[in-house]
Amino acid sequence: MMNTRRNHEIDYKIFGEEMQCVEVELDPQETVIAESGSFMYMDDHVQMATVFGDGSDRAQGFLGKVMTAGKRLLTGESLFMTTFTNHGPDKQHVAFAAPYAGKIVAMDLQQLGGKIICQKDSFLCAAKGVEVGIEFQRKLGTGLFGGEGFIMQKLEGDGLAFVHAGGYILERDLQVGETLRVDTGCIVAFTQRIDYDIQFVKGVRNMVFGGEGLFYAVLRGPGKVWLQSLPVSRLAARILQYGNSGKESGSVLGPLGRLVDGDGF
């Protein structure tokens, strides 16, 4: 069977362990698209350009591009994306860096059913032609209580796409009817046949004293799921907690300890 990709076909290498970057190799006239702020370096003949929308060229006319760009605003992204095109006669390279400690995952959309649904801040870069849109979760419970998982990004096409996640990445293949309950922030991505819902945490003590929130995501197969061990929202909340508590977080004496240290109240 012939490989008939509509999207640009790119090669890549991922470097690093905890702080990773991906180097994309471009043949002449090949292009990669990326979110603003992810660029790291590029060879001499690679040219950078800013485009309105997602750069996939699927949107027809000006109104179509406006709608595409407007949807990107709902996920907290910019109206614009950046393209990097090799205008030289030989292979050229461009690299993109992860925004925080974690892993970069390469996803071949052609082998994953042509569509991936991912967390709204996880997309890093992709081959030109991959459409970056939004995916609303239609169920009422998900919409009201989904939090981080309510408005998600969708990546459609048949090219390579790269997503970033915090901490360690765990892949799970769910069989038909197999269910996995997950913290909403720990979901990185899943294939389109996965059924996604939000459920209450059962038990009054769990809700009041559990410290894990009132809701969790329920993923039901068949399909593939990518999970992250350290959501950036959890990391940011913990840093903020320590920043606000100051010395009290490390002392059983609390304010009394600060007084003994000479800091006053």
Write down the pTM of the prediction. Answer: 0.77
Residue 138: pLDDT band by 50, 70, 90 thresholds?
A: low
Residue 251: pLDDT band by 50, 70, 90 thresholds?
A: very low
pLDDT in tens, 155-204: 999 999 999 999 999 999 999 999 999 988 899 999 999 998 887 776 54
CATH 3.40.190.10 describes domain 11-244:
no
List the chain domain ranges: 11-244
SS (H, E, C) the chain: CCCCCCCCCCEEEEECCCCCEEEEEECCCCEEEECCCCEEEECCCEEEEEEECCCCCCCCHHHHHHHHHHHHHHCCCCCEEEEEEECCCCCEEEEEECCCCEEEEEEEHHHHCCEEEECCCCEEEEECCCEEEEEECCCHHHHHHCHHHCEEEEEECCCEEEEEEECCEEEEEECCCCEEEECHHHEEEEECCCEEEEEECCCHHHHHHCCCCCEEEEEECCEEEEEECCCHHHHHHHHHHHHHHHHHHHCCCCHHHHHHCCCCC
